[in-house]
Structure 1
């Protein structure tokens, strides 16, 4: 797993775009909420002319609604010439049966921007995420597949209700000593005394090293991780991802495995157990600190610190049996996908935190004869729009010759 900044870390304000006409911010419309879209919002179409003189409509990416609801929508970003606008549902006129009272008092229009779906029943949240994954695969990879987003258990009962799962949390510290989180697409801070998705023992990123325990298929292992480095924030995530990757790949003794964007070696450690002393595991990681921890965490693995594209261009050529690909949010992209397929693995396990990036890369794999033959999706980030997928890409034995 490549180092990624913890979810909900303060992000830069959105880049200011050149205005294309008068601002539409503050306009209100009665509308029916359309389908969910990637990014934690739904699509709503509204007339571009508030007087009704024109039948032209504009897409609004609207937060805080549920498909099918009749709502009052207020625009929050956009000018008259933009291709789309952004908005918030500020009043529900006809509610969906899946609407619930948000368990967090800081969720809602104009409040904390960390959670997208606090107002949605947890089962429907997962159904909405499944729709997004399926739509991205259909639109970007030409695949029409059923998708189910699975719940993931942690160690607290509240986690099954979508709460108290986040083991790392970074707040904004205010001058008066209070703490807060940022509004959606803003640098503005909302004072938050208790984030409802944060684990009671959640820690903030900082200096030093921490130890994480993971129960694998055949053993329990300890992993050294930088306190400010990447580690999955749902307590059930490492185990379910390891079990899924190994279950899909079915590594055999003596096989060779490339672990790309290996992070601190979560997959490499357990893959090493599976292929045994006669097998070979090579882990490539761009962050030197994480790569250093991987060397400690994965005895017997070959660990290289460096950009995946640069390392693959210079080494680890020839045929490899298996590849684990766990890129950052933007995906692997064509140069790396093509270096992977050049090594003719019998199977690739692709771990994706962004369904659009996954779908784009799946389409590139398909150009080279690798087909998506299995897909599992996990709700590792309840109350948010984020979803983690593990895809299996395989090529027929005749194609590998």
Structure 2
């Protein structure tokens, strides 16, 4: 560690960077400081990092922002849990910062200079909104969440963004299993609780519990094994109920999902005679409502249990086909043309997906994103094959964090 890296400096926080860090400058170089807000002046201690950018830890707040509030969680702060990065920021200011961060990512990484980003739609709940959360097992017992250094796990005994019923369940759990890596707690629209255990062992353990919760296991290959009670949860979106097997993906902020569905439909603006592709289709949430406005919907999902969930959830619809397989491989078997498509990738689009969208002559594409940087990079790639970004509607699925989801419309 050099002397410069130990240096204590006073800087002004000019902006908010991707990742939830406040951004200042020292000798012309960017400095990332957690738990700060644009407009604040702080005394910070530089940490050993790379030569191009610097990271620092806050030592003293010199000038506070009017948007600073007292955090609700005792585990929030330096050296503690990093699950939430923005509990110190007023919620209305969080929404503005998320919009600014998304706009900045689109401009810097995607080359988008037009004013296409709409104001962020707030979450129905700012606290207790997570209907499921995964916690990491700690050596010696207990569970925790990642800390800011990305290497250590911070023990937590309470979490104000976790659904209150799950917090009550968590407080009752006393569990120690060989090979236990993680534990996910989930509660569905019927208030039915589930515990999902992630083990490094291939063999399912014998378990008994007096907790009011189902228990499922995910093997190292992500195969779900039902141990106690139900094998799946049920989530309600508008007038439909969706089965979600342990291991299948469903957004944690369940009350915001209907808003997301409505925006996907609004941006696609279907007339009723279209062929629509739902890539990365999951358990069929989008397809269920697309089918009501389209002639035919083709859903593609790579995770076998989720594809099975989709078949069950969409069994009453005769204009939906479910294909089990990766999105990139599916384009090798799809033929004809598709008028519209929805993509909801976890971390950006595969090259073959982008080429396939163009080859199928998809005219309207709705991109659902949970990663602003990936969306921005894919914007540039989609533009190269003839798509233009028309509008981006951000939605807040994760209050008290820097994360922002978005629905983007591309047209040929």
Question: TM-score, length-normalised on structure 1?
Answer: 0.82
Distance 1:26 1:181, change over 3 A: farther
Q: Does the CA contact (< 8 Å) of 2:235 and 2:254 recur in 1?
A: no
Match of 2:134, SS? coil
Does 2:121 align with 1:150?
yes
> In the TM superposition, what is the alpha-carbon distance from 1:334 to its structure 2 partner?
3.5
Partner of 1:213: 235
Residue deviations 1:79-127 (CA, integer Å, cap 9, x gap): 5xx2112222232110011111111121111111111111111111111
Partner of 2:56: 87
Partner of 1:128: 97
Match of 1:45, SS? strand
Distance 1:252 1:45, change over 3 A: same
Q: Does the CA contact (< 8 Å) of 2:394 and 2:404 recur in 1?
A: yes
> In the TM superposition, what is the alpha-carbon distance from 1:77 to its structure 2 partner?
4.1
Whole-angstrom CA distance in 1 between matches of 2:11 and 2:135: 35
> In the TM superposition, what is the alpha-carbon distance from 1:368 to its structure 2 partner?
2.9
Whole-angstrom CA distance in 1 between matches of 2:3 and 2:333: 53
Match of 1:358, SS? helix
In the alignment, structure 2 segments of 5+ residues that lack a partner are 167-184, 187-194, 197-215, 217-225
Whole-angstrom CA distance in 2 between matches of 1:72 and 1:226: 49
Whole-angstrom CA distance in 1 between matches of 2:233 and 2:240: 10
- Root-mean-square deviation (CA, aligned residues, Å) is 2.0
Whole-angstrom CA distance in 1 between matches of 2:400 and 2:133: 15
Match of 2:342, SS? strand
Does 2:277 align with 1:297?
no
Does 2:243 align with 1:224?
yes
Q: Does the CA contact (< 8 Å) of 2:123 and 2:399 recur in 1?
A: no
> In the TM superposition, what is the alpha-carbon distance from 1:291 to its structure 2 partner?
1.2
Match of 2:368, SS? strand
Does 2:378 align with 1:365?
no
Query: Which of residues 125, 136, 140 is equivalent to 2:109?
Result: 140
Whole-angstrom CA distance in 2 between matches of 1:101 and 1:349: 38
1:54-203 to 2 correspondences below 5 Å: 57-78=28-49, 82-144=51-113, 145=115, 146-153=117-124, 159=125, 162-174=126-138, 177-202=141-166, 203=185
> In the TM superposition, what is the alpha-carbon distance from 1:128 to its structure 2 partner?
0.8
Residue deviations 1:196-236 (CA, integer Å, cap 9, x gap): 111112325512432333333xxx11111122331100122
Q: Does the CA contact (< 8 Å) of 2:81 and 2:145 recur in 1?
A: yes
> In the TM superposition, what is the alpha-carbon distance from 1:137 to its structure 2 partner?
1.4
May I ask how many residue pairs the two structures share in their alignment?
Answer: 349
Residue deviations 1:35-73 (CA, integer Å, cap 9, x gap): 1111111222224xxxxxxxxx43222211111111011
Question: TM-score, length-normalised on structure 2?
Answer: 0.80
> In the TM superposition, what is the alpha-carbon distance from 1:23 to its structure 2 partner?
7.8
Match of 1:237, SS? helix
User: Any runs of at least 4 consecutive aligned residues in structure 1 with deviations exceeding 6 A, and if so which?
Assistant: none
Highest relative contact order (Cα 8 Å, sep 6+), 1 or 2?
Answer: 1
Query: Which of residues 369, 384, 400 is equivalent to 1:352?
Result: 369
Distance 1:178 1:364, change over 3 A: closer
In the alignment, structure 1 segments of 5+ residues that lack a partner are 1-20, 48-56, 154-158, 396-401
Match of 2:287, SS? helix
Partner of 2:12: 32
Partner of 2:209: none
Query: Which of residues 373, 392, 400 is equivalent to 1:383?
Result: 400
Whole-angstrom CA distance in 1 between matches of 2:120 and 2:48: 31
Whole-angstrom CA distance in 2 between matches of 1:284 and 1:23: 55
Q: Does the CA contact (< 8 Å) of 1:114 and 1:384 recur in 2?
A: yes
> In the TM superposition, what is the alpha-carbon distance from 1:335 to its structure 2 partner?
2.9
Distance 1:37 1:147, change over 3 A: farther
Q: Does the CA contact (< 8 Å) of 1:334 and 1:361 recur in 2?
A: no
> In the TM superposition, what is the alpha-carbon distance from 1:288 to its structure 2 partner?
1.4
Whole-angstrom CA distance in 2 between matches of 1:22 and 1:336: 46
Residue deviations 1:275-326 (CA, integer Å, cap 9, x gap): 2xxx2111111111111111111223211121211121x2112211110011
Whole-angstrom CA distance in 1 between matches of 2:345 and 2:3: 38
Does 2:354 align with 1:337?
yes
Partner of 2:292: 273
Deviates more, 1:23-32 or 1:231-240: 23-32
Distance 1:176 1:143, change over 3 A: closer
